[in-house]
Structure 1
Amino acid sequence: MPDPMPSDLMPPSFDRAAAEAAVRALLRSFGQDADAPELKDTPARVAEFWTERLAGYGIDLATELKPLPGDLSPVPVILERIPFVSTCEHHLAPFEGHATIGYLPGAGGTVGLSKLVRVVQAYAWRLQVQERMAQQIADALRTHLRPAAWGVQLVAVHTCMGHRGVKTPGVPVRTTLMGGAWEQQPPVPFRL
């Protein structure tokens, strides 16, 4: 049985009333009337948005990444261009892109393809930085699947870079991690 994932998978407490009050205060700090007809429901909508945006903390990967029954051939499993949207923890601004993840089954067996998508979602739906997200996905694959080889590649565009600071929109950032038998010879989908 693989080691359990770190406690960061447990959902944080979410105080909806406090979130709504904070949004009202933010609107007022912008000189806006938070009770105006066009803004009065904004605090509730924003709180609901963040409930969805941070749902990844509640995904238990030990449950998601259970091996399929039966004796399956140990062939490479690679999912390419899994879309994701995450939130930069430094500016609370979105970044979005796609993930390519894969593994060569080993001692941990094989999982359903949708479970690999859930791994990406579990870490994207959190306050995040791209480098950590790539490492967390890789750690989940290694911990739960114990593969002979694994790879993770994230390519994303960060609105915190495009809309503020250097204001350079549309520049993709690529983060690639490889391990096991693929460390020296990555499969084609992971090559630059």
Structure 2
Amino acid sequence: MSEVNLKKIEEAVKMILEAVGEDVNREGLIDTPKRVSKMYEEMFSGINEDPREFFSTVFHEEHEEVVLVKDIPFYSMCEHHLVPFYGKAHVAYIPKDGRVAGLSKLGRCVESVARRPQLQERITSTVADSIMEMLQPHGVYVVVEAEHMCMTMRGLKKPGSKTITSAARGNYENDDVLRREVISLIQMS
């Protein structure tokens, strides 16, 4: 696992500012490279994390009905443009053989996967696959909805547009009734 090279980020930011025609010595920009490097260190803190580790501790509870944590806020950086996208994730699973995770672990998994240069589709699949592998539930269903700054502030320029992705594993893959149940629970206020 490599450490974040803050000095290298600072140099790169300074070069970008110079390349767009800015004076890197003007008052407002003098500390910008340092601030950006610290921000990137935080925003990309999930790069060296394995999201499956959040499910290494399992509790046993006789419950084999849906468990849903919805409206998990997250932010990430589009790996194509290095601009933010943000939204919320909804994570559901049906425990098997009493294997349940602490509820906060679902949110931690989402955060870990999002804190790296990323694609929304990959966040959705990685969260679902991590839970499926580690908890071995009957099924997992993950829905992620986000607004992408690469679509709202450049290119298409459509603020407010949302992208929704989903990943179904186990029982959720072929059972429309189970999927509809989760979707209706997500839509409840």
The TM-score with structure 2 as length reference comes to 0.89
SS at the partner of 2:168?
strand
Paired AA for residue 21 in structure 1? E
Distance 1:106 1:89 in 2: 35
Displacement of 1:187 after TM fit?
Answer: 4.7
Q: What does 1:1-192 correspond to in 2, within 5 Å?
A: 11-107=1-97, 109-183=99-173, 184=175, 185=177, 186-190=179-183
Instruction: Give 1 or 2: higher helix fraction.
Output: 2
Percent identity between the aligned chains? 34
Identify if the C-alpha distance between structure 1 residues 70 and 133 changes in structure 2 by more than 3 Å, giving closer, same or farther: closer
AA aligned opposite 1:14: V
Q: Runs of 5+ in structure 1 lacking a partner?
A: 1-10
Q: CA deviation at 1:71?
A: 3.9
* Residue 66 of structure 1, CA deviation: 2.3
Aligned residue identity for 1:55? S
Give the CA RMSD over aligned residues.
1.8
Residue deviations 1:19-48, cap 9 Å, x none?
101111111112111122221110000000
Q: Displacement of 1:182 after TM fit?
A: 2.4
Equivalent pairs counted in the alignment come to 182
Query: What displacement does 1:13 show?
Result: 4.1
Tell me how far apart the structure 2 counterparts of residues 166 and 38 of structure 1 sit (CA, whole Å).
Answer: 30
CA distance in 1, matches of 2:28, 2:61: 59
Report the counterpart of residue 7 of structure 1 in structure 2.
none
